[in-house]
Amino acid sequence: MSRSKALQYYILSRLLLAPIMLWFITTLVFLLLRATPGDPVDAIYGARASAAAKEELRRQLGLDLPLGLQYLNYMGDLLRLDLGTSLTSRGQTVWQIIGQYFPATVELTVFSMLVALGIGITIGTLAASRPNSPLDAGGRLFGILTYSIPAFWAGMLMQLVFAVQLGWFPLGTRFSISAIPPNGPTGLYILDSLLNGNINQFLISLHHLALPCFTLGILLSGIFERIVRVNLKQTLKADYVEAARARGIPERRILIAHALKNALIPVITILGLTFAALLGGAVLTEVTFSWPGLGNRLYEAITLRDYPTVQGVVVFFAAIVAIASIAIDILNAYVDPRIRY
Amino acid sequence: MNYPKLLSKRWQRLSQFFGLFSLCFLLVVSCASQTTTQNSTLGGASNPRVNIGTTLKVRTLDPADSYEIASGNLLYNLGDRLYTYRSGTTELTPQLATALPTISDDKLTYTIPLRQGVLFHDGTSFNAEAMAFSLNRFMENEGTPAFLLKDIVESVNATGEYELTIKLQQPFAAFPELLTFPGTAAISPQAYQIGTGQFKPDTFVGTGPYKLAQFGTDVIRLDVFEDYWGEKPQNQGVDIQLFTSSSNLFNAFRTRAIDVASGTLDSEQIKSLEKETQRQGWQEITADGNSVNYMVLNVNSEPLNRVEVRQALAAIVDRNILNQRVLQDLAEPLYSLIPDTFPSHKPVFEQYGDGNAEKAKQLLTQAGFSQANPAVVEIWYSSNSTKRSLVASTLKAIADQKMDGILQLELKSVESTTAFQNLDKGIYPTFLLDWYADYFDPDNYIQPFLDCNEGSATEGCKVGASQNHGSFYYNTEVVNLIRQQRQETDRDRRYAILGQIQDILARDVPFIPMWLDRDYAFAQKGINGVRLEPTQKLLFSSISK
């Protein structure tokens, strides 16, 4: 079988596996949520309403139905891409919730990843280019520190220094309260403000985004720094690098064009998965920075036992992870000719 | 291979470029936005709108489904009800009504004259039909607070263009007070539908001084309603910024990003702001709160089925120590379930004293307990409340130090949602809880705790309010007294009945009142008219810059 044929089969099998994976995750979330004590009625009412009022509300919300029937109803809706309606914000569909909150998460994720890649690759390359030097040791230390520092703690520290003490950045939220946020098709303030040609809105958006995205970016950069450093060190010892040197190719070109390019292949995998995981809600960062993203909203929904919202958002995240991992595999297959199926 | 030599120049340049770029980026972003930031702060006199920061979450703005403090406060400012409280007082005053209701001799029919010339935010005229629609929708849409009216009201009808007639199922003296509940606000029949589950969580079309301009994920904007029938707001609009944590709210206020901080600041943050108030020119606004914090005792559980044990627990609770050590002197000791803001309040638990170990020992000995046979009581609290965790630990420390082993308290915690599922099943011997009133009347601090529909003295409450609360307390006399005070329209006689109920409460101890949360808000220098109402509401229209 030719390589392209094998790749096609591989992609097809991955695509066929994705719905099974989504079904498994959905079922698992459905069952786990029901196994958790309490329900939305308890979360909303507390001890304030009579048992009759609580039962009535459960009946309305369909929580009185047998578990199997609830599951069948939910899966039936899911097949029609209907994620249901929130139990706590009644009248609001889960798709509306996703539409409201997801752009903020995307914005934070994309910019954090850019920061993480920039810092991680730079420090990793610098450290790998000077093995066993103080720079190398510094790179290692940076990688370990950024990987191990808790996001909420780093976030609070960054806020304290840059927002409270220095006053350089605003505290939390996506946009200045005293200005009208950009209104556009994407819901991404940075992009919408540019589409509207409004530089002031763009700068305000950037100003509000800077601190959370730098915090998250720096914390994530450690992963990339370590991968780049380790892989680049190994790659620089590879035969093809020696061959390139023997052909008289300049050393800096060998490093940048040959070694670094190959050393970045694992970064693609990690990048994709980290990106997908972040889209799955950088909950701690969002909570720390009062960033109104989907992770923050999911946390609220879990607290309130809002089953449809939790299930819908998790399925949505799972779909993103599935698509991302398939995309990574395809990309890796094209980038790395050594990969076989 | 000597990479350092080969690459040092290149990396140097790269590092310099990257460093310079980062620095420029930071400077450009922070400097370019300084203008905006300044405009959003007090320096920005050009922004006449008031910025309020809060941590309270708004689940829905639909009055028929709203049952939280945050949404209640918004509805209070966005809408009008038949009755409200005169600002700064607990005096009932007509709002969309023009007078207090005329009550029939059998105390079941309330006739309410309505205000004319009132417009909804969508331009629709307000009349009795619209008010009847609003109240019927509140009941028929089966939202979370629907039971408040459904359990009491028989029918709501427009009996004239500006006359509303409400028939009750049984007499209820506090009915006008119930009509101040934010969810009973008038809403436009053009914008809403009646029908089970027909809710609009992110819109509001009422008659209040503000109309909803934006219901965002992290900001809620209210614009002044130009056609408001009453007094115009003192500001040109209100922007509410929603923070996910109290530390963000605290820091946002300190950095002057918001004009008013209102919400769940914790004790340390309040203390910290208090210290800075004078130096920074901030204003601290406090009000007697009406959030009652209490311990519920399951009278069906061992050893709490012995009244002496319950009384002993009441005796060792040291409210002053709790206030000093845990609540940082930001709360008020509470000696009855009815807060002292009501004239009918009777500090009945004072008879037990605070941390009165001698009395507690005496009571426990009387009940047959000793060091060899101690009374062991589990103190349960919500695991997501640091405050209650500390309160429980302090209670245990008091018992350990003062009770010579005759009373042993064991601390247990559970997540609040799980707790509420199990509270009425009798799983917890005790639980530390709080309660905020639905409407400002002593009945709302008594009936939901002590009433019972079905039960007996031997088996306790099987169905009813006291079972919901996890107490299972049943006392025929109390049930009758609750019914009596609900029907009694003579104020003095009603207070006397409420006094009797409180006496029995202290004698039988199904609940131990512990403390009353005070309400706090902070305002920047130059912000005027910030007031916390006795009803726990923050009035927006009086705030000016």
Condensed to tens digits (0 to 9), the pLDDT of residues B519-542 reads 899 999 999 999 998 888 899 999
Question: Which of B9-18, B35-44, B121-130 bottoms out in mean pLDDT, i.e. has the lowest?
Answer: B35-44
Condensed to tens digits (0 to 9), the pLDDT of residues A44-68 reads 777 777 777 788 888 877 888 898 9
Share of residues in chain B with pLDDT > 70 (%)? 91
Cα(B86)–Cα(B198) distance, integer angstroms: 33
For residue B211, the cross-strand partners are B223
pLDDT of residue B210: 97
| Mean per-residue pLDDT, B211-222 | 92
Best mutation target, B26, B58, B141, B147, to test chain A (most A CBs within 10 A): B147
pLDDT of residue A319: 87
The strands making up B163-168's β-sheet, listed across from edge to edge, are B102-103, B109-113, B163-168, B153-160
pLDDT of residue B37: 40
User: How far does Cα B522 stand from its chain's mean position?
Assistant: 18
Residue A5 Cα, gap to closest chain B Cα (Å): 42
Share of residues in chain A with pLDDT > 70 (%)? 95
| pLDDT band at residue A18 using 50, 70 and 90 as cut-offs | confident
Amino acid letter, residue B181: F
Residue A288 Cα, gap to closest chain B Cα (Å): 7
Q: Does B19 touch chain A (CB under 8 A)?
A: no
- Structural contact between residues A112 and A271, judged by C-beta atoms closer than 8 angstroms: no
In the three-class reduction of DSSP (H, G, I as helix; E, B as strand; rest coil), residue B451 is classed as coil
Which one has a higher pLDDT value, A94 or A88?
A94
- Structural contact between residues B79 and B181, judged by C-beta atoms closer than 8 angstroms: no
State yes or no: pLDDT of B4 exceeds 70.
no
pLDDT of residue B290: 83
CA dihedral over B204, B210, B211, B212, signed as positive or negative: negative
pLDDT of residue B25: 54
pLDDT of residue B378: 96
Cα(B446)–Cα(B248) distance, integer angstroms: 37
| Mean per-residue pLDDT, A236-265 | 76
pLDDT of residue A251: 72
Residue in this structure with the two tokens 């607070």, named with its chain if needed: B145
Question: Which of A249-253, B26-30, B97-101, B230-234 bottoms out in mean pLDDT, i.e. has the lowest?
Answer: B26-30
State yes or no: pLDDT of B15 exceeds 90.
no
| Mean per-residue pLDDT, A201-207 | 91
| pLDDT band at residue B32 using 50, 70 and 90 as cut-offs | very low
pLDDT of residue B205: 97
State yes or no: pLDDT of A336 exceeds 80.
no
What is the value of pTM for the model shown? 0.82
Exposed/middle/buried for residue B390 (C-beta within 10 Å: 0-12, 13-18, 19+):
middle
In the three-class reduction of DSSP (H, G, I as helix; E, B as strand; rest coil), residue B346 is classed as coil
- Domains of chain A, residue spans: 17-93, 94-335
pLDDT of residue B35: 43
Q: Which of B6, B29, B423 sits opposite A207 (nearest CB)?
A: B29
> For the residues of B303-340, what is the DSSP string, one character each?
TTTSHHHHHHHHHH--HHHIIIIISTT-EEE-SSSS-T
User: How far does Cα B159 stand from its chain's mean position?
Assistant: 35
**What is each CA distance from A266 to A111, A148, B24, in whole angstroms?**
21, 21, 32
| pLDDT band at residue B101 using 50, 70 and 90 as cut-offs | very high
Condensed to tens digits (0 to 9), the pLDDT of residues B412-466 reads 999 888 888 888 888 999 999 999 888 889 999 999 999 998 999 888 999 888 9
pLDDT of residue A95: 94
Q: Do A49 and B144 touch (CB under 8 A)?
A: yes
| Mean per-residue pLDDT, B69-82 | 94
Residue A1 Cα, gap to closest chain B Cα (Å): 42
- Cα A249–Cα A253–Cα A259 angle in degrees, nearest 5: 105
Chain A residues in contact with B201 (beta carbon < 8 A): 86, 89-92
State yes or no: pLDDT of A106 exceeds 70.
yes
pLDDT of residue B513: 97
Residue among B401, B398, B404, B399 nearest B372 (CA): B404
Q: Do A90 and B201 touch (CB under 8 A)?
A: yes
Long-range CB contacts for residues A198-203, cutoff 8 Å, separation at least 24: A200/B36, A203/B28, A203/B29, A203/B32, A203/B33, A203/B36
Residues 152-171 of A with CB under 8 A from B: 156, 159-160, 163-164, 167-171
pLDDT of residue A146: 86
pLDDT of residue B493: 94
Chain B residues in contact with A53 (beta carbon < 8 A): 146-147
Best mutation target, B68, B198, B280, B468, to test chain A (most A CBs within 10 A): B468
Q: Does B412 touch chain A (CB under 8 A)?
A: no
Mean model confidence pLDDT for chain B? 89
pLDDT of residue A340: 58
Q: Do A48 and B1 touch (CB under 8 A)?
A: no
pLDDT of residue A1: 57
Q: Does B418 touch chain A (CB under 8 A)?
A: yes
- Structural contact between residues A331 and A268, judged by C-beta atoms closer than 8 angstroms: yes
- Structural contact between residues B154 and B78, judged by C-beta atoms closer than 8 angstroms: no
Which one has a higher pLDDT value, B221 or B34?
B221
pLDDT of residue B379: 96
Q: Does B381 touch chain A (CB under 8 A)?
A: no
Chain A residues in contact with B37 (beta carbon < 8 A): 170, 176, 207
Condensed to tens digits (0 to 9), the pLDDT of residues B276-325 reads 898 899 999 998 878 899 999 999 999 999 999 999 999 999 999 999 98
State yes or no: pLDDT of B180 exceeds 90.
yes
Residues 284-323 of A with CB under 8 A from B: 286-292, 296-297, 300, 303-305
Which one has a higher pLDDT value, B60 or A335?
B60
Domain A94-335 -> CATH class: mainly alpha
State yes or no: pLDDT of B44 exceeds 70.
no
* DSSP H helices in B79-142: 128-140
Close Cβ partners of A171 (under 8 Å, ≥ 6 residues apart): A159, A163, A164, A290, B248, B251, B252, B255, B257
Residue A168 Cα, gap to closest chain B Cα (Å): 5
- Structural contact between residues B501 and B481, judged by C-beta atoms closer than 8 angstroms: yes
Q: Which two tokens stand for residue A285?
A: 């960062």
| pLDDT band at residue B495 using 50, 70 and 90 as cut-offs | very high
| pLDDT band at residue B41 using 50, 70 and 90 as cut-offs | very low
B301: how many CB neighbours lie within 10 A of its CB? 18
| pLDDT band at residue B499 using 50, 70 and 90 as cut-offs | very high
Residue B114 Cα, gap to closest chain A Cα (Å): 31
| pLDDT band at residue A277 using 50, 70 and 90 as cut-offs | confident
| pLDDT band at residue B19 using 50, 70 and 90 as cut-offs | low
Residue among A87, A226, A69 nearest A145 (CA): A226
| pLDDT band at residue B47 using 50, 70 and 90 as cut-offs | low
Amino acid letter, residue B153: V
pLDDT of residue B20: 56
State yes or no: pLDDT of A219 exceeds 90.
no
- Cα B271–Cα B273–Cα B274 angle in degrees, nearest 5: 60
Mean model confidence pLDDT for chain A? 83
pLDDT of residue B10: 53
Cα(B276)–Cα(B291) distance, integer angstroms: 27
Residue among B150, B154, B174 nearest B165 (CA): B154
Q: Do B36 and A100 touch (CB under 8 A)?
A: no
Q: Do B469 and A47 touch (CB under 8 A)?
A: yes
Close Cβ partners of B517 (under 8 Å, ≥ 6 residues apart): B289, B291, B293, B330, B331, B434
Cα(B395)–Cα(B318) distance, integer angstroms: 8
pLDDT of residue B407: 94
User: How far does Cα A53 stand from its chain's mean position?
Assistant: 40
What is the widest separation between alpha-carbon atoms in chain B?
A: 104
Which one has a higher pLDDT value, B363 or A152?
B363
Q: What are phi and psi of A304, to 5 degrees?
A: -90, 5
Chain B residues in contact with A156 (beta carbon < 8 A): 247
Chain B residues in contact with A288 (beta carbon < 8 A): 245, 248
Which one has a higher pLDDT value, B165 or A85?
B165
Nearest CA in chain A to B437: A48
Amino acid letter, residue A311: Q
pLDDT of residue B369: 94
A309: how many CB neighbours lie within 10 A of its CB? 28
State yes or no: pLDDT of B28 exceeds 70.
no
Condensed to tens digits (0 to 9), the pLDDT of residues A156-172 reads 888 889 988 888 888 87
